[in-house]
Amino acid sequence: MEEAKDEVIFISNKIFTLIDKKFEDTTELERQVLATFCFGMINAIVFKKELNHLQTHSIASTLLTTVFHYSEEQAEDFTQELINSTDESYHPVMFSIIRRGLNGYQQYESKEKKQLQANVLEVLAIVNED
């Protein structure tokens, strides 16, 4: 599981580089969207490594505290919201961002950097329109 946590942290930090933005230069909404996208990537990693729900929860919490600088309490609440959002009827927008993150992991694994960059930027653009 530690390997999965390290991979998630590495990829999530890479996302900021790909979109040419520092964490400090993002809005709270952008952070939430990027965290949701990265949670989709977590789901792909968890599936690939055959990890269980408790491990998924732990990886997501680590991502939210380490990369996105949320407090433990905020990370716990957000992690539960992300898990709930894997059900499309719970939160259709977050569900679709999670799905984009699943696709993003495939793009990352296939070394399709331009496609991954476009994927993330498109999600951010759509959310920033509203």
Task: List, for residues 64-111, the tens digit of each pLDDT value.
Answer: 999 999 999 999 999 999 999 999 999 999 999 999 999 999 999 999
**Residue 45: predicted pLDDT:** 93
Burial grade of 43 (CB within 10 A; 0-12, 13-18, 19 or more): buried
Q: Please state, in angstroms and rounded to a whole number, the distance separating the CA atoms of residues 79 and 86.
A: 11
Q: How many structural domains are present in the chain?
A: 1
**Which residue range forms the structural domain that includes residue 94?**
2-129
pLDDT value at 130 more than 80: no
Note the pLDDT tens digit of each residue in 38-60: 999 999 999 999 999 899 999 99
